[in-house]
Amino acid sequence: MDKNAASRSVMQHLYPAIDPFDQRMLDVGDGHKVYVEQCGNPNGVPVVVCHGGPGGGCSPAMRRYFDPDIYRIVLFDQRGCGRSRPHASVKDNTTWHLIADMELIRATLDIEKWVVFGGSWGATLALLYAQTHPQAAAFLALRGVFLMTQAELTWFYGGGAGQFWPDLWKRFTDLVPEDEHDDLIGAYHRRLFSGDMMQETRYARAWASWENALASIDSEGMVGESPGEYARAFARLENHYFKNAGFLEVDGQIMRDLPKIAHIPAKIVQGRYDMICPPTSAWHLAQAWPQATLKMVPKAGHALSEVGISAELVRTMDQIGRNPKQLGL
């Protein structure tokens, strides 16, 4: 299927494009201002969208997974990316800062409880947010689960995924000397934070290209080069978080703390052929979570834009929207 045909197929499952009824820059402290927008029904069921990356930012398409007559849709660009400022900054930028930002957004918008929707790193953030503030999360809708473990990082930056894409892996690794290949996250970190804007942008584009090429099952590894400004924020933030193991206390923290959210219902949507976040994480999460349901989507990879994944997420949100009272909303 060609890319345009795939895009048209995805659009058939989404709600029509909408504009925000509220846009603001929220001062979250530490010199950061976070972009926040609201769309849909101002009196509707609140849902907050955690975008991927870290560093990916929100897009207008993310508004379209929710019935605008039913949902009050809250999108925000996490610190340092998208429309948030300062751009590409990693200062005072950790998982716990982002969780505190989400709570500030919730309080500022006077929302008691909301549905938390996120994919990839957004799923990581959604899970950690709910484990930190279980009283605020009514339901978790997760896609392409990433549990922020060393095993997952080793898979993607230690050669696991490279066994399926040896040509793209070689292009990614050839940019650093062979004696640094045992720690590619560290090797790229030194170049992404070198202070040389041209070098940072070059390595940022390579970092982003490695991930983007493997995101969609239909791409066959063929993706265009990311704009320099976007790539630099995406790569610097993602690398910063991964170098610091997501700022978690211990490896496996999300699974350790799963009892904190065992009572919260959840739907996990996972592509069977996800090369970035292999399905084993989603499967183990669902096995250990009594209130979670796992939908494994055949012939789908990692991207939110995969046809089967988009259709299942919209279906999930429609089901929740029909009876929000059962979630206390």
pLDDT digits (tens, 9 = 90+) for 88-107: 999 999 999 999 999 999 99
Size (the chain), residues:
329
Instruction: Please list the residues that pair with 117 across neighbouring strands.
Output: 49, 141
The first and second tokens of residue 296, run together, are 């494994």
pLDDT at residue number 2: 33
Rounded CA-CA distance 188/235 in Å is: 9
pLDDT at residue number 76: 98
pLDDT at residue number 5: 39
* Residue 70: pLDDT over 80: yes
Q: Is-contact 24 104, C-beta < 8 A?
A: no
Higher pLDDT: 282 or 325? It is 282
Q: Is-contact 18 64, C-beta < 8 A?
A: yes
Place of tokens 């089967």: 308
* Residue 187: pLDDT over 80: yes
Average pLDDT taken over every residue of the chain: 95
The pLDDT tens digits for 16-42 are 999 999 999 999 999 999 999 999 999
The pLDDT tens digits for 4-20 are 334 566 778 899 999 99
pTM of the model: 0.96
pLDDT at residue number 227: 85
**Closest C-alpha to 64, from 17, 131, 110:** 17
The DSSP letter of residue 225 is P
Rounded CA-CA distance 297/311 in Å is: 10
Stretch 105-116: mean pLDDT, rounded? 98
Q: Is-contact 36 50, C-beta < 8 A?
A: no
Rounded CA-CA distance 127/147 in Å is: 9
CA angle 114, 283, 103 (to 5 degrees): 20
* Residue 161: pLDDT over 50: yes
- The structural domains of the chain, ordered by start, are 3-149+247-327 (3.40.50.1820), 150-243 (no CATH)
* Residue 165: pLDDT over 60: yes
Stretch 135-156: mean pLDDT, rounded? 98
Q: What does residue 286 show for φ and ψ, rounded to 5 degrees?
A: -65, -35
Higher pLDDT: 243 or 219? It is 243
pLDDT at residue number 221: 58
Give the neighbor-by-neighbor strand order of the sheet with 266-271.
22-29, 32-40, 71-76, 45-50, 114-119, 137-143, 266-271, 292-297
Out of 116-130, 177-191, 212-226, pick the least confident: 212-226
The distance of Cα 21 from the centroid of its chain, to the nearest Å, equals: 24
Question: Mind telling me the catalytic residues?
Answer: 120, 274, 302
The pLDDT tens digits for 197-242 are 999 999 999 999 999 999 998 876 556 677 889 999 999 999 999 9
Out of 295-299, 318-322, 325-329, pick the least confident: 325-329
Q: Is-contact 142 123, C-beta < 8 A?
A: yes
* Residue 1: pLDDT over 60: no
pLDDT at residue number 225: 75
Rounded CA-CA distance 292/263 in Å is: 9
